[in-house]
């Protein structure tokens, strides 16, 4: 069953004068999906998120939240939205409780339900002990959590988080990731990050943006079960390169020195079993056999550095 | 409406948790108390010569309110400078922009929050002439007209300051800018006295201070009140337009 579409963006474009920050970007996010936005600095991640949350009007294209256009009915659309920008939008002179109560009111939570909403948000973000403290006196990590609490206080179906784990210590990062994963079950979450393992750990889909364009948009599972590209083997008593290439399924063998070889595969075969048999029969002394898959990092580097080289060449 | 009140409440709270508001209230009260006492002593000295035609409300109330305008001209830019500029600088403006509220509600909420501070300042100010009540008969209508005039004037100052604050991200620049803007509108009154300039009557009419004079003297004219309401409305509308531009 296809679940409900919560965010739909078509042809989002944003120009700042002559520079194009985001160009013709489209994305669809269904309920229960967590989309990770990846990209080098200045790729347009934050601009995209600002457009999806109504903080920035797109030069062209349209964004819809729960089917409501952000352009035609901004207040109705924003009702279903929680947004944590890069800089947590907090007031340092207020206490955590005061601030969250205000955010609850701002998002239209009835005054009777506010105390409960504040309590739940504090509980989810690990803020229960600091409710009475001034936000300005909290550490960066806690301020980040307050920002996150603000984004989820009204339990919006769509949550947009711009680098939510920046400035947190490793334990807090794990907690926030767990929280995002939890939120992702019942809400739609878009988050941006520089940290690739984070995207792989939390997200169900990855979108890579480079120079304002979406260059990759696949489920994370695609990056996990990627096809084996090559094998790395270490042999104590290495045979000649020709002997290795004779094995069915191996196209090329590259001698890396010290008995290590990188074996390029020929057309979708998995020659690992044959290779082990050959190693045993030939008494090659196989001590290491590792498949090399295309990781998210390699995909990322490949897609984002390609035109860097083009630019240099031009 | 609820949204406006929520924003106004938060704004008033933030104004009053900052030491700036209390310092401003204290200093303004101190300066005006000195003026009040001096004019009271003056009146006590000359009241016999002045006779019945010249009452304590005229003299004390008039000079107090007249001086208050100058002090408030200096002080209001300090109170309005943070409203948008600081929020933009710290990034907290995003909270308002991504919340399900319209820009008009944001601007009106902030303005109402500022008015809470204005009311506090006026209450402290009004307490001075009213403290004479047990001792003498005050012309209460006259004091009320003066206070209403001050309120309208401060609302206009506040709206102009709010607009300038929405133009920049540096609170100090907002303060300097709105001080300059207010002074220029004020000075239009001066132009009105110079006969070599055309449209002197127009300049005189547009000046902020001209409309306060009659209220200070206890004459309530709806034209003056409407002038201030229009002035305030214009700058609030400009602020909404300016914030809308920011998104595009």
Residue B93 and residue A94: Cβ atoms within 8 Å? no
Residue with tokens 């790395």: A232
The pLDDT of residue A208: 85
CB atoms within 10 A of CB A269: 14
What would the DSSP string read from start to end of chain A?
-PPPEEEEEEEEEEEETTEEEEEEEEEEEETT-EEEEE--TTSSHHHHHHHHTTSS--SEEEEEETTEETTTSHHHHHTTEEEE-SS----TTSBHHHHHHHHHHHTT--HHHHHHHHHHHHHHTT-GGGTTSBGGGS-HHHHHHHHHHHHHTT--SEEEEESTTTT--HHHHHHHHHHHHHHHHHSEEEEE-S-HHHHHHH-SEEEEEETTEEEEEEEHHHHHTPPEEEEEEEETT---HHHHHTSTTEEEEEEEETTEEEEEEPTT---HHHHHHHHHHHT--EEEEEEEE--HHHHHHHHHHHHHHHHHH-
Preferred mutation among A84, A91, A117 to probe B, highest tally of B CBs within 10 A: A91
Residue B99 and residue A78: Cβ atoms within 8 Å? yes
Which of B198 and A50 is assigned the larger pLDDT? A50
Which chain A residues are closer than 8 Å to B91 by Cβ?
85-89
User: How far is B68 from chain A, CA to nearest CA, in Å?
Assistant: 30
Residue B98 and residue A81: Cβ atoms within 8 Å? yes
Distance CA B155, CA B148 (A): 10
The pLDDT of residue B120: 93
The pLDDT of residue B54: 66
Statement: residue B194 has pLDDT above 80? no
Residue B6 and residue A54: Cβ atoms within 8 Å? no
Residue B91 and residue A105: Cβ atoms within 8 Å? no
Distance CA B146, CA B137 (A): 17
Which member of B9, B17, B98 has the closest CB to residue A55? B98
Mean pLDDT on B171-197: 82
- What letter would DSSP give residue B61? I
Mean pLDDT on B29-55: 80
Residue A106 and residue B102: Cβ atoms within 8 Å? no
Q: Judge whether A169 and A177 are in contact, CB under 8 Å.
A: no
Residue B94 and residue A98: Cβ atoms within 8 Å? no
Which member of B90, B99, B102 has the closest CB to residue A106? B99
The pLDDT of residue A314: 46
- Confidence band, pLDDT 50/70/90 cuts, at residue B158: very high
User: How far is B89 from chain A, CA to nearest CA, in Å?
Assistant: 10
List the single residue in A with minimal CA-CA distance to B248. Answer: A57
Residue A103 and residue B95: Cβ atoms within 8 Å? yes
The pLDDT of residue A222: 66
Residue A106 and residue B101: Cβ atoms within 8 Å? yes
Summarize pLDDT for A210-263 with one digit per residue, the tens. 887 887 787 777 666 556 677 788 888 878 777 777 777 777 788 877 788 888
The reply to whether B12 touches chain A by the CB within 8 Å rule is no
Neighbouring C-alpha atoms within 13 Å toward the C-beta of B112: 16
Summarize pLDDT for B85-137 with one digit per residue, the tens. 988 888 888 898 888 888 899 999 999 999 999 999 999 998 888 888 887 77
Which member of A54, A74, A85 has the closest CB to residue B91? A85
List the single residue in B with minimal CA-CA distance to A98. Answer: B10
Summarize pLDDT for B96-107 with one digit per residue, the tens. 888 888 889 999
Residues of chain A with pLDDT under 70: 1-2, 222-228, 267-269, 293-294, 306-314
List the single residue in A with minimal CA-CA distance to B18. Answer: A93
Model's pTM, two decimal places? 0.82
Predicted ipTM of the assembly: 0.83
User: How far is A225 from chain B, CA to nearest CA, in Å?
Assistant: 38
Summarize pLDDT for B167-178 with one digit per residue, the tens. 988 989 999 999
The pLDDT of residue B155: 92
Contact residues, B window 54-113, toward A, CB-based 8 Å cutoff? 90-102
Statement: residue B201 has pLDDT above 90? no
């Amino acid at each position: 069953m296809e679940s409900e579409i919560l965010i739909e963006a078509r042809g989002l474009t944003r120009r700042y004068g002559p520079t194009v920050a985001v160009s013709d970007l489209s994305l669809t996010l269904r309920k229960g999906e967590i989309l990770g936005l990846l990209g080098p600095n200045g790729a347009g991640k934050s601009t995209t998120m600002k457009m999806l949350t109504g903080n920035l009007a797109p030069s062209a294209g349209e964004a819809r939240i729960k089917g409501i256009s952000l352009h035609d009915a901004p207040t109705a659309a924003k009702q279903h939205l929680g947004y944590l920008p890069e800089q947590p939008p907090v007031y340092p002179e207020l206490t955590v409780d005061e601030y969250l109560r205000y955010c609850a009111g701002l998002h239209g939570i009835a005054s009777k339900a506010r105390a409960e909403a504040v309590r739940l948000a504090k509980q989810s973000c690990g803020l229960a002990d600091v409710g009475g403290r001034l936000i300005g006196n909290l550490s960066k990590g806690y301020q980040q959590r307050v920002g996150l609490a603000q984004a989820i206080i009204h339990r919006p179906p769509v949550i947009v988080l711009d680098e939510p784990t920046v400035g947190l210590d490793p334990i807090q990062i794990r907690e926030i990731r767990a929280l995002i994963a939890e939120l992702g079950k019942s809400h739609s979450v878009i988050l941006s990050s520089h940290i690739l393992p984070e995207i792989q750990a939390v997200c169900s889909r990855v979108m890579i943006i480079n120079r304002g364009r979406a260059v990759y948009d696949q489920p994370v599972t695609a990056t996990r079960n990627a096809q084996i590209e090559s094998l790395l083997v270490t042999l104590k008593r290495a045979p000649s390169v020709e002997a290795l290439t004779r094995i069915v399924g191996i196209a090329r063998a590259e001698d890396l020195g010290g008995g290590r070889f990188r074996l390029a595969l020929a057309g979708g075969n998995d020659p690992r079993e044959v290779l082990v048999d050959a190693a045993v029969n030939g008494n090659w002394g196989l001590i290491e056999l590792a498949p090399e898959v295309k990781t998210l990092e390699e995909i990322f580097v490949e897609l984002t550095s390609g035109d860097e080289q083009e630019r240099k060449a031009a | 409406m609820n949204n406006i009140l929520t924003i106004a409440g938060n704004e008033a709270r933030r104004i009053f948790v900052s030491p700036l508001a209390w310092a401003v209230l204290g200093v303004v009260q101190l300066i005006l108390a000195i003026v009040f006492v001096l004019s009271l002593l003056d009146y006590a000295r000359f009241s016999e010569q002045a006779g019945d035609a010249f009452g304590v409300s005229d003299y004390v109330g008039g000079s107090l309110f007249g001086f208050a305008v100058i002090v408030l001209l200096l002080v209001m830019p300090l109170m309005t400078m943070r409203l948008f500029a600081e929020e933009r600088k710290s990034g907290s403006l995003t909270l308002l922009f991504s919340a399900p509220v319209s820009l008009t509600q944001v601007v009106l909420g902030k303005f109402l929050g500022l008015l809470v501070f204005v009311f506090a300042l006026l209450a402290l100010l009004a307490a001075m002439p009213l403290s004479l009540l047990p001792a003498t008969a005050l012309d209460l209508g006259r004091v009320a007209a003066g206070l209403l005039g001050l309120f309208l004037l401060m609302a206009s100052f506040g709206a102009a300051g709010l607009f300038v604050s929405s133009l920049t991200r540096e609170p100090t620049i907002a303060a300097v800018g709105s001080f300059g803007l207010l002074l220029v509108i004020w000075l239009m009154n001066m132009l009105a006295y110079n006969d070599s300039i055309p449209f002197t009557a127009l300049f005189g009419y547009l000046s902020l201070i001209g409309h306060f004079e009659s209220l200070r003297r206890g004459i309530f004219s709806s034209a003056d009140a409407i002038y201030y309401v229009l002035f305030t409305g214009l700058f609030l509308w400009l602020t909404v337009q300016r914030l809308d531009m920011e998104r595009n």
